[in-house]
């Protein structure tokens, strides 16, 4: 078990957004979470990355309980994530956006900054090297000096990937990485996710583009009204009556 949730629930007042979800993320694979709009997919991500405390249940990473850790501690544990909206600093360059991603692995503080200590210089160089490494990895070297505001949607998504990768994660959660991106570029992003897995990083994504998911994911979980209704390989999911019902409506036997 790499990352595991045990009967994880989240209630917002009377609404149960995530209900008793048991889920395991398999190491070195591409895991996907799908489901109709409002099924609780993003809430599920927010629970794992520490943005919402769960109402009940637990989250276990490599045998360690991380259920109520704050988001920054969870990032230090090796879990990175991206958002649906990329949230990047548009008036700054790609490189400048990504450099700060490695900050959590550095120790220099305010005093180091004021005194320009050796440690600060060394760590700044370290962050810069890391940023260049992930920029190359995500195929952004041509636009590294450009302002994020002038990038295409796909390049922004890649920048968000790069920022997540700069934290040296073991697992990345990608919230709709291919939303608002054309089919050719979607293929490019899929290739990038495969490349991440090849490098030993576990990927878990939320996505609506079924074609992409069915080709890409090793394992899929389907959420509907906050509950897990199916889990398995692409083929299993495609033939699951509960999934067909959730997406197309009508009775399962129809």
Partner 1 sequence: MANIINKRFIIPVLILFAIVFPFVTQNDYFIHVMTLSFIWMIGVYGLNLLAGYTGYLSLAHAGFFAVGAYSLGLLTVKAQMNFWLAFVLSLIITSVLGFLIGLIALRTKEHFFAIYTLCVGYILYLIIDKWDSLTEGVRGLIGIPAPGNIGPISFETPLSQYYLVLAILLVVILIVYRIVHSLTGRTYIAIRNSEDLALTIGISTMKNKLEVFVLSTFFAGLSGALYASFIRFIGPDIGNIVITFDLLTYLLIGGIGTLSGPIVGTVLVVWISQQLQFLQDYRMLIFGPILTLLVIFYPRGIAGSIAGWNAKRAEKKLAKAQQDERFSQSPISAENQVKEG
The binding site for partner 1 (CB under 8 A) comprises 49-51, 70-73, 75-76, 80-81, 83, 87-89, 91-92, 96, 99-101, 103-104, 106, 108-110, 112-114, 116, 120, 123-124, 127, 142, 145-147, 150, 163-164, 166-167
Min separation Cβ 254 and partner 1, Å: 42
CB 219 within 8 A of CB 47: no
Minimum distance of partner 1 from residue 90's CB (angstroms): 9
Residue (37 or 107) nearer to partner 1, CB: 107
Q: Is the Cβ of residue 20 or residue 108 nearer to partner 1 in the bound state? A: 108
- In angstroms, what is the minimal distance from the CB of 201 to partner 1? 15
Whether 9 and 56 have beta carbons less than 8 Å apart is answered as: yes
Complex with partner 1: residue 7 or 87, whichever CB lies closer: 87
Buried b (16+ CB within 10 A) or exposed e, 30-40: bbbbbbeeebb
Q: Considering the complex, what minimum distance in angstroms separates the CB of residue 82 from partner 1?
A: 8
Q: Which two tokens stand for residue 158?
A: 């890649």
* Token pair of 53 as six digits: 């405390």
Q: Which is nearer to partner 1, 20 or 92 (CB)?
A: 92
- For the record, the structure tokens of 14 come out as 């009377």
Nearer to partner 1, 114 or 254 (CB): 114
At its nearest, how many Å lie between partner 1 and the CB of residue 17?
A: 18
CB atoms within 10 A of CB 245: 16
Which of 31, 3, 34, 89 minimizes the C-alpha distance to 209? 34
- Tell me which residue of 18, 22, 19 sits closest to 6, measured CA to CA: 22
């Amino acid at each position: 078990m790499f990352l595991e949730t045990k009967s994880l629930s989240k209630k917002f007042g009377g609404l149960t957004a995530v209900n008793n979800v048991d889920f395991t993320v398999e190491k070195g694979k591409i895991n996907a979470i799908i489901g109709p709009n409002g099924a609780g997919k993003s809430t599920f991500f927010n629970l794992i990355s520490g943005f919402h405390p769960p109402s009940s249940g637990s989250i276990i990473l490599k045998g360690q309980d991380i259920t109520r850790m704050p988001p920054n501690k969870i990032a230090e544990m090796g879990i990175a994530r991206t958002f649906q909206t990329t949230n990047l600093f548009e008036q700054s360059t790609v490189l400048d956006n990504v450099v700060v991603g490695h900050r959590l692995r550095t120790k220099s503080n305010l005093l180091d900054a004021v005194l320009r200590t050796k440690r600060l210089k060394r760590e700044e160089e370290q962050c810069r090297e890391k940023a260049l490494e992930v920029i190359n990895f995500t195929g952004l070297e041509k636009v590294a000096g450009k302002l994020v505001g002038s990038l295409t949607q796909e390049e922004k998504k890649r920048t968000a990937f790069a920022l997540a990768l700069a934290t040296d994660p073991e697992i990345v959660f990608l919230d709709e990485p291919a939303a608002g991106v054309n089919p050719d570029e979607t293929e490019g992003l899929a290739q990038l996710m495969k490349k991440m897995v090849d490098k030993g990083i576990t990927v878990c994504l939320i996505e609506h583009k079924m074609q992409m998911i069915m080709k890409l994911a090793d394992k899929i979980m389907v959420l509907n009204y906050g509950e897990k209704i199916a889990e398995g390989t692409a083929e299993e999911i495609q033939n699951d009556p509960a999934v067909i019902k959730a997406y197309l409506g009508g009775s399962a036997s129809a």
